[in-house]
Amino acid sequence: MSELKRVVLVDDHQMFRTGVKAELGGGVEIVGEAGDVDEAVSVIRATTPDVVLLDVHLPGGGGIEVLRRLNGVVPSRFLALSVSDAAEDVIGVVRGGARGYVTKTISGPELTDAIGRVADGDAVFSPRLAGFVLDAFAATDVPAVDPELDQITQRERDVLRLIARGYAYKEIAKELFISVKTVETHVSSVLRKLQLSNRHELSRWAAARRLV
Amino acid sequence: MTIGDVGVRGEGPQDAGAAGGVTAAPPAAPEGARLERVPDGRLVAGVARGLAGHLGVDVMIVRAAFVLLTIASGLGIAAYGAFWILVPAREGTAGRRGRDWGQLAVYGVVTVGLAALPWGAAGKAGGLMQWAVWPFVLGGVGVAILWQQADRDQRQRWVLPLRQRWLRSLLGLLLVVGGIGGFVAQRVDVGQARSVIIAMLIILTGVTLIVTPWVVRLWQDLDTERAERVRSQERAELAAHIHDSVLHTLTLIQRNAQDAREVQRLARSQERTLRSWLYQPRSDPDQTFAAAIKASAGEVEDDHGVPIEVVCVGDTELDDRLGSALQAAREAMVNAAKYAESPSVSVYAEVEGKKVAIFVRDRGKGFDLDQVPEDRMGVRGSIIGRMERNGGKATVRTAPGEGTEVRLEMEKA
């Protein structure tokens, strides 16, 4: 196994940070912690970790503000970790540059696995995020402005569906008779579309989902 | 593997929707019904509507007849009055709607227009007056007919610009100035009229200047007060919610601190409630598919203490066939929670046009489908049989040690 991934933990709840550290155990090396946006920015700049575990709701502008200030500036990759199920939060932080989104109910080994994946430049989708993407990219009559970015392929749809059904990457590969690497490629491609597509439904859709 | 008989539970309060159906279309009285005035959908006293129901003709014809009779001899009004007095009103019409003032205005305009016709034609100004009046009369009747034909929504759209405050104020001002001006112009000769109108404008402007700040302040006060009230209502609602559910759960958790499973169940259930309260659009589990799936999963989770993650893509109205698919899905969730010994259960529901697919998956011990005796009702009866009876399909994929996935497919009726 390669050396431990260096991780910074950003969450405004001390109790939660302690919990995550315990869950992760020795699987990763925690090199720093932060409780708000400013602190996060300075800690990440100082330590340049492989992966930042980023809470969506943070004092000082939220995870999205951290991404705005640092994404592309530091080599670190970001994985959003949140209790929020709101589409607006999920889509917002992913479009802000996070390489993935997992909910806080994720188990320790799964989280370690996800951190490794993000550190290697792949994307991590929770079943719920996959569901959101399927919903947002649902076939519509509206012609896509940029078909390259505004539509997902049938294969990508198949992969997302299996993620939404609770399949792990390995199981997806087996189910679709493709390699795990190919699954990762599909997911990364969807992530790219999610981040770059100007498909106007995307933001409108996410905002509409927020309406209570 | 034994299978429970929990499938009965999903049949919640289905009659809840029936009571909501009061706002239906105005009850069309059956032909030859007893003659009575119908207050629901009336314009004046419901006489015409009552007569129309009694005679079995369209209410517009009856109304047009009254209008024509009125113009011809005034008999229409007399007849209407007589009916009004003599015919009893229908009783017990609950939820009566207000008068359709728009329609009433149309009939009024048509009546007045037609009545004024001979007067205008034979007016003092002779030929000139005739030519001046006719276009107005025709135009007025045309507008009136259009108005009458348009439904309520359409009319609302037409008058929408009028609803804007400044436009309305402007119109009001014009009417007032025009009215007073016209009155003055009739009484005073033209030379004086101008100075009178100017004087009037000055006075109006003065009054406006004096009153405006006061009105604005009043308006602002009202706004602040309203905002404050909304805020305090929200606070009260939040407090009530936290008190009813969160505090209650916290108490229960403290009492059950030694029972890890129970604590987890309580926390999950509270989490679910809070989540749906915070993030989810309020939808009715009796009516929409996604909400129903989530509600079922929540109940199963509560009953069996296994977390069930639900992901829904798309949504649709519930119907009988989807209802049975839902029951089958619930049965599959119960099986997974009860027997699979899986730490969690994934449910994925997808609506694509008329096609609905539900996947219930666990990572538990799985079983050998062929080993399930024929007479066990669970998988065969409650899931596969139920789906097939309703025109759907159920597939179970499982093997010992591999977990189980139940796939349900149903097409909407």
For chain B, residues with pLDDT lower than 70 are 1-34, 91-100, 115-138, 140-141, 143-168, 177, 180-193, 279-285, 372-378
Contact flag B346-A127 (C-beta cutoff 8 Å): yes
What interface predicted TM-score (ipTM) does this complex get? 0.80
Q: How far apart are CA B252 and CA A43, in angstroms?
A: 40
Provide the whole-model pTM.
0.57
At residue A179, the pLDDT reads: 92
Q: How far apart are CA B126 and CA B227, in angstroms?
A: 62
* Domain A123-212, CATH: 1.10.10.10
Residue pointed to by tokens 């059904």: A165
Contact A149, A196 (CB under 8 A): yes
Share of chain A above pLDDT 90, in %: 14
Q: How far apart are CA A168 and CA A202, in angstroms?
A: 26
At residue A178, the pLDDT reads: 93
In degrees, rounded to 5, the angle at the alpha carbon of residue A33 between the alpha carbons of residues A27 and A38 is: 145
Pick from B280, B314, B359: which is nearest to A165 by CB?
A: B359
At residue B210, the pLDDT reads: 81
Query: Domain-by-domain residue ranges, chain A?
Result: 1-121, 123-212
Other beta carbons less than 10 A from residue B169's beta carbon: 10
Q: What is the pLDDT of residues A72-108, one digit of tens each?
A: 788 889 999 887 777 778 888 888 889 988 887 788 8
At residue B105, the pLDDT reads: 75
At residue B181, the pLDDT reads: 65
Residues of B in contact with A210 (CB under 8 A): 279
Whether the CB of A176 is below 8 Å from some CB of chain B: the reply is: no
- Higher per-residue confidence, A10 vs B48: A10
**Alpha-carbon distance A138 to nearest alpha carbon in chain B (angstroms):** 9
As annotated, the residues of chain B forming the CATH 3.30.565.10 domain(s) are: 282-411
Q: For the residues A2-6, what does the mean pLDDT come to?
A: 79
Contact flag B281-A86 (C-beta cutoff 8 Å): no
Class of B282-411 in CATH: alpha beta
At residue B358, the pLDDT reads: 93
Name the nearest CA neighbour of B184 among B194, B175, B173: B194
At residue B94, the pLDDT reads: 46
At residue A71, the pLDDT reads: 82
Topology of the domain comprising A1-121 = Rossmann fold (3.40.50)
Q: Which residues contact B174 (CB under 8 A, 6 or more apart)?
A: none
Is residue A206 over pLDDT 50?
yes
At residue B29, the pLDDT reads: 42
Is residue A136 over pLDDT 60?
yes
At residue A159, the pLDDT reads: 92
Q: How far apart are CA A168 and CA A3, in angstroms?
A: 24
Whether the CB of A134 is below 8 Å from some CB of chain B: the reply is: yes
Residues of B in contact with A138 (CB under 8 A): 313-314
Q: How far apart are CA A180 and CA A188, in angstroms?
A: 12
Contact flag B348-A165 (C-beta cutoff 8 Å): yes
